[in-house]
Amino acid sequence: MNKDAKTAIILLLKGLFYKSDNEKAFFELVHKSYGAISEYFSTIGLDVMVEENDGYAYLKNKVYEEDEESLPKLIQNRELTYKVSLLCVLLRKKIADFDMQNEHDRAIISKEDMHAHIALFLDIKFNEVKTQKEIDSTIKRVEELGFLKKLNVSEEVYEIKNSIKSFVDASWLNTFDEKLTHYKEANIWN
């Protein structure tokens, strides 16, 4: 295995791996060493998922058939908070709108827009400053998940990464809708 293939493995282990992070390693993963890299991860129960058109790759737990011997899950599924889930849904809608209009190379959203969209769903009663800080931490968390990238142009502008499409799909949205119903019935909005 060459250096670019090994680099691709390391970048995949770190989380979402975007083509823009290392084009040589991405090219190696997609075109030359996919089989070897995939086999490498398969031995520990992981599948390599590549979205070549959108320029990203990631690892996910292998789904075993009933008659196959399974390994423990290496990647743990974590429950997202209501606010993080809400922001992910809003970003997914925004990128879908962007794909339909296709005006620019990248889907861009300002911090101000994210604040405005999330605030519509929150019960802001007394402490607006506290709410703004909570929204800022929510944006930071979504950025850590790899769905947002702060642009160098300004700290207040973000690129919505295409990878959000793979994670916020119809099944995920259905689960989120069920949780929203639960929140509404229990009157748990914050």
In terms of domains, do 32 and 112 share one? no
Alpha carbons 26 and 34: distance in angstroms, whole number: 10
Burial of 122 per CB tally in 10 Å (0-12, 13-18, 19+): middle
In a domain, 139, yes or no: yes
SS (H, E, C) 76-114: CCCCCCHHHHHHHHHHHHHHHHHHHHCCCCCEEEEHHHH
Tens digit of pLDDT per residue, the chain (190 long)?
888 889 999 999 998 888 988 999 999 888 999 999 999 999 999 999 999 988 899 999 998 888 888 888 888 777 788 888 889 888 988 888 887 876 667 888 999 999 988 887 776 666 778 888 889 999 999 998 889 988 876 668 998 998 888 888 777 777 777 777 776 666 654 4
In terms of domains, do 28 and 98 share one? no
Q: Distance of alpha carbon 124 from its chain centroid, rounded?
A: 27
In terms of domains, do 49 and 91 share one? no
In terms of domains, do 24 and 89 share one? no
In terms of domains, do 56 and 102 share one? no
In a domain, 71, yes or no: no
In terms of domains, do 106 and 25 share one? no
The pTM is what?
A: 0.72
CB-CB contact of 88 with 168 (8 Å): yes
In a domain, 66, yes or no: no
Task: Look up the CATH number of the domain holding residue 158.
Answer: 1.10.10.2260
Which residues constitute the domain of residue 43? 3-61
